[in-house]
Amino acid sequence: MGSFSIWHWLIVLAVVLIVFGGSGKISTLMGDFAKGIKSFKRNLEDDESMEHGATKPDDRIGAPQPGPASFTSEQRDSKPVSSSTH
């Protein structure tokens, strides 16, 4: 009970290799984590400014933007259908 088995040493070795590995995986992971936190804080600030009336929610979310290929049903139905014979 006082000594570690081979599995304990393999797990310790794996953790050491992951943390101190030369490829910088941990630093990349922590950088991505920091970017996520910054984005979350920025979105919280945007939500707070919306609550204070800086912008209307309709201006930002849910207002459909007309696209170049948007037709009403009348426009779509009134177009002539080309018929091709084989």
Q: 41-73: per-residue pLDDT in tens? A: 999 888 888 877 655 555 555 555 655 665 566
Q: Which pLDDT belongs to residue 37?
A: 94
Instruction: Give domain status of residue 71, yes or no.
Output: no
Instruction: Give domain status of residue 27, yes or no.
Output: yes
13 neighbors 20 (Cβ within 8 angstroms): no
**pTM here?**
0.35
Instruction: Give domain status of residue 61, yes or no.
Output: no
Instruction: Give domain status of residue 34, yes or no.
Output: yes
Instruction: Give domain status of residue 40, yes or no.
Output: yes
Instruction: Give domain status of residue 15, yes or no.
Output: no
Provide the percentage of residues in the chain whose pLDDT is more than 70.
55
User: What range defines the domain where residue 52 resides?
Assistant: 23-56
Structural domain count of the chain: 1
Instruction: Give domain status of residue 31, yes or no.
Output: yes
Instruction: Give domain status of residue 75, yes or no.
Output: no
Report the C-alpha gap between 27 and 19 in whole angstroms.
Answer: 9
Instruction: Check pLDDT > 70 for residue 75.
Output: no
